[in-house]
């Protein structure tokens, strides 16, 4: 597994997808390190990858203390409220804000520490019962409610596609997330200067996600190979 070569290919594919869609902005590649040992992650770091995503808080704690300090860490997995207390300012972005009690807990911990958490609102666009996230019709109310929690700053939306969906269905899910964001901006629910991120697309569909407007893609196995353990 040549991590450096994999990263080169993925970044090339992202740039091709940007060009194909006529976009002039950029996409941030998040290397998903779930279950990966630090020696393999360091290969990505040495190749120039500095942005990493962890699903589990415990793994993030372990890795963030060992890997270089200039790594940018994202929490991308479902976040339990009792794990929020373990987070700190090294977390650049939480992708998985998916319910009111998590919003409340993040705000509470942020107030205690004088931290404003940057987050994304997770939307269950595919209406997959196995996935977390608010429904499409709940986004507006959640964002309006979040305005009452000053220590949480929602800067965009995230979704996880249905693994059993066809490529066309997946593309339509990504497109729907972009349309939800654009609708929130059109309605004035959010500020276009601060609310613009779309986190969508993984190893199997990140190019399609970029074509549909992703600003953040979460890629693991295409960089590192299959997971090391469960």
Q: For the domain that residue 67 is a member of, what is the CATH number?
A: 3.20.20.10
Element housing 104 (H / E): helix 100-113
Owning domain of residue 19: 3-224
CA dihedral over 226, 28, 98, 187, signed as positive or negative: negative
Alpha-carbon distance of 223 to 204, in angstroms, equals 12
- The pLDDT score that the predictor gives to residue 1 is 67
Q: Is residue 230 assigned to a domain? A: no
3-state secondary structure at position 9: helix
- The phi and psi torsions of 38 (rounded to 5 degrees) equal -65, -30
Alpha-carbon distance of 60 to 58, in angstroms, equals 5
Q: What is the DSSP letter of 16?
A: H
Residues 107-147 have pLDDT tens digits of 999 999 999 999 999 999 988 887 889 999 999 999 999 99
- How many domains would you assign to the chain? 1
pTM to 2 decimal places? 0.95
């Amino acid at each position: 597994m040549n991590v450096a070569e994999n990263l080169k290919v993925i970044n090339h594919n992202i740039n091709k997808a940007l060009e194909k869609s006529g976009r002039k902005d950029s996409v941030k590649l998040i290397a998903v390190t779930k279950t990966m040992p630090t020696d393999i992650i360091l290969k990505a770091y040495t190749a120039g990858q500095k942005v990493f995503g962890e699903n589990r808080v415990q793994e993030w704690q372990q890795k963030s203390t060992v890997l270089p300090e200039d790594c940018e860490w994202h929490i991308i997995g479902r976040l339990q409220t009792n794990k929020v207390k373990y987070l700190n300012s090294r977390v650049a972005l939480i992708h998985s804000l998916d319910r009111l009690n998590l919003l409340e807990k993040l705000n509470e911990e942020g107030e205690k520490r004088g931290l404003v958490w940057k987050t994304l609102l997770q939307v269950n666009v595919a209406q997959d019962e196995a996935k977390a996230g608010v429904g499409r019709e709940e986004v507006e109310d959640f964002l309006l409610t979040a305005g009452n929690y000053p220590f949480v700053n929602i800067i965009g939306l995230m979704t996880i596609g249905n693994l059993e969906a066809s490529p066309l269905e997946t593309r339509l899910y990504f497109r729907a997330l972009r349309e939800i964001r654009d609708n929130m901006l059109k309605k004035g629910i959010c500020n276009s200067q601060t609310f613009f991120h779309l986190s969508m697309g993984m190893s199997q569909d990140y190019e399609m996600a970029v074509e549909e407007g992703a600003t953040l893609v979460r890629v693991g196995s295409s960089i590192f190979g299959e997971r090391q353990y469960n």
